[in-house]
């Protein structure tokens, strides 16, 4: 697949029989609950049409990345690629990253309809209220929020949450360590409003690039262009001068004034870790200046769903960069890095390694902690016979190879977020967003590695021999099926 638009991606999902059309649903909780129920069943993507209270043609596509197959489809990889191999292929490709700058065009499909001035109305779109206790409707879940650095003048894209407040005002929530927040604060420090745009329904490479932790100064546009080996087509924003994706379904242009000048209650919102990160709070707003959208626009819905369900893009966007960072530090013996989906983010990161010397596992654990910038709570180091993408194997290694009194290190004072459900109300009130990391060494002790009890599993040679003989029987079952 070589997609140029979000619609190309939807067509590919439909082609492989993984798309379900639903008509007549209500934007208020019905779409959100069906999205959640289908994700829990590892079911198809859902295309909602003829939404209650809205004219035909205004649609919502939910769960585009909620199965491993659809995520690999978005990366142009075969559908049956195993999770750890997806990570490995992607991280090897990352080593040859060479930015491909976007190319400016005069027009694009997103300009088929334009609202300005009194015509602006965010309620034009059937933005769902996704979760039962959400404080409002969220247009921005599957989105790319676009900002430009005031000093270095590079463009950042991130999938931050965007709430609809009224016809021409939206709320924006970005954790303080994200590039988008850092950029906005630079404008505010000078008393300026920050130009901003929200692109909804972008092609997979732009969305997945936005989900990655890119280095400061690296634009997700350049990365997406490199992934597809052709420049992303952009148009210049009339009111913001920002680079806007020409093939997005919807683009909202506006500005974010300093919070002390104007802010509104935002949230609460069910977040990536499976909890509400807090009560409604005063957050920055987007004053909308222009809305552009395609004919029959499609909102991309990737709402956070209680783990382990939701977007498998989490391991893909975190694990490859961590693996490469470890190798760049000169750490040897790394066989795999994988973010366990049940953590709802990089909060449980597993590293598989071949022990080569005494203290090697300790070195790997501490180096992994240094490689992860934020939101990690557990690092699990396992031997190379453990597949880090297989949660069952990882738990087995913890249960049988980790001696709690000897095999756990605690490291304090790492960056967290106000959304962290484990932060006390007092910590949140003080803005003290830090947590502790536990490194669990679920490995065979190096000192008596050769004397560790033998695993009661058939040898690889015997497994291949028997598998070949009984291929007709064994082919009916997928022993590698995992949704970790």
Give the model confidence (pLDDT) of 452-465 as tens digits: 999 999 999 999 99
Mean pLDDT calculated for residue range 161-175: 97
Mean pLDDT calculated for residue range 50-78: 92
Q: Say what the pLDDT of residue 327 is.
A: 94
Mean pLDDT calculated for residue range 293-310: 93
Centre a 10 Å sphere on the Cβ of residue 193 and count the other Cβ atoms it contains: 18
pTM: 0.90
Give the model confidence (pLDDT) of 230-270 as tens digits: 999 999 999 999 999 999 999 999 999 999 999 999 999 99
Q: How far apart are CA 110 and CA 200, in angstroms?
A: 10
- 474 pLDDT band, cuts 50/70/90, is confident
- For residue 308, cis peptide bond before it (omega within 30 degrees of 0): yes
Sign of CA dihedral 374, 380, 384, 388: negative
CA–CA–CA angle 331, 353, 76 (5° rounding): 90
Q: Say what the pLDDT of residue 178 is.
A: 93
Give the model confidence (pLDDT) of 243-253 as tens digits: 999 999 999 99
Q: How far apart are CA 147 and CA 153, in angstroms?
A: 9
329-455 CATH, one of 3.40.1670.10, 3.30.200.20, 3.20.20.30, 3.40.50.2300:
3.40.1670.10
| 483 pLDDT more than 50 | no
- For residue 268, cis peptide bond before it (omega within 30 degrees of 0): yes
In the chain, where are the structural domains located?
6-301, 329-455
With 0-12 CB in 10 A as exposed, 13-18 as middle and 19+ as buried, what is 126? buried
DSSP state letters, 220-269:
HHHHHHHHHTSPPEEEE-TTT--EEETT-SEEEEEEE--TTTSEEEE---
The CATH-assigned architecture of domain 6-301 is Roll (2.30)
Sheet with 45-49: list strands edge to edge: 19-23, 45-49, 59-62, 298-301
């Amino acid at each position: 697949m070589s997609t140029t638009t979000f619609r190309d991606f939807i067509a590919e999902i439909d082609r492989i029989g993984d798309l379900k059309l639903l008509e007549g649903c209500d934007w208020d909780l019905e779409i959100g609950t069906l999205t959640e129920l289908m994700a829990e069943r590892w079911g198809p993507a859902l295309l909602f049409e003829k939404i209650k209270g809205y004219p035909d043609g205004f649609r919502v596509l939910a769960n585009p990345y909620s199965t491993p197959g659809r995520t690999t489809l978005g990366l142009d990889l075969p559908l049956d690629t195993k999770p750890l191999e997806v990570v490995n292929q992607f991280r090897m490709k990352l080593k040859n990253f060479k930015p491909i700058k976007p190319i400016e065009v005069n027009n694009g499909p997103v300009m088929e309809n334009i609202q300005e001035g009194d015509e602006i109305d965010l309620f034009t779109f059937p933005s769902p209220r996704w979760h039962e206790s959400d404080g409002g409707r969220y247009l921005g879940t599957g989105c790319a929020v676009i900002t430009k650095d005031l000093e270095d003048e590079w463009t950042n894209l991130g999938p931050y949450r965007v709430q609809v407040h009224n016809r021409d005002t939206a709320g924006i929530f970005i954790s303080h360590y994200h590039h988008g927040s850092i950029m906005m604060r630079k404008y505010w420090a000078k008393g300026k409003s920050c130009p901003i745009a929200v692109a909804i329904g972008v092609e997979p490479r732009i969305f997945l690039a936005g989900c990655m932790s890119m280095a400061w100064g690296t634009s997700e546009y350049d990365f997406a262009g490199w992934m597809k080996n052709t420049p992303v087509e952009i148009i210049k924003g009339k009111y913001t001068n920002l680079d806007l994706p020409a093939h997005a379904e919807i683009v909202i242009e506006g500005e974010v004034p300093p919070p002390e000048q104007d802010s509104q209650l935002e949230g609460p919102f069910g977040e990536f870790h499976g909890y509400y990160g807090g009560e409604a709070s005063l957050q920055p707003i987007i004053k909308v200046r222009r809305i552009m959208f395609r004919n029959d626009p499609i909102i991309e819905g990737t709402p956070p769903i209680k783990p382990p369900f939701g977007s498998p893009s989490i391991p893909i966007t975190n694990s490859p960069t961590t693996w490469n960072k470890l190798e760049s530090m000169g750490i040897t013996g790394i066989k795999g890095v994988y973010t366990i989906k049940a953590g709802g983010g990089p909060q449980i990161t597993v590293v598989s390694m071949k022990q080569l010397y005494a203290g090697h596992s300790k070195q790997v654990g501490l180096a992994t902690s240094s490689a992860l910038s934020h939101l990690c709570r557990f690092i699990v180091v396992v031997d190379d016979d453990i597949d880090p993408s297989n949660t069952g194997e990882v738990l087995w290694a913890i249960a049988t190879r980790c001696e709690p009194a000897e095999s756990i290190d605690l490291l304090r004072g790492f960056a967290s977020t106000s959304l962290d459900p484990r932060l006390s109300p007092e910590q949140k009130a003080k803005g003290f967003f830090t947590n502790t990391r536990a490194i669990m060494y679920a490995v065979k002790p190096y000192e008596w590695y050769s004397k560790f009890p033998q695993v009661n599993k058939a040898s690889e040679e015997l497994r291949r021999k028997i598998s070949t003989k009984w291929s007709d029987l064994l082919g009916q079952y997928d022993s590698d099926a995992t949704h970790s």
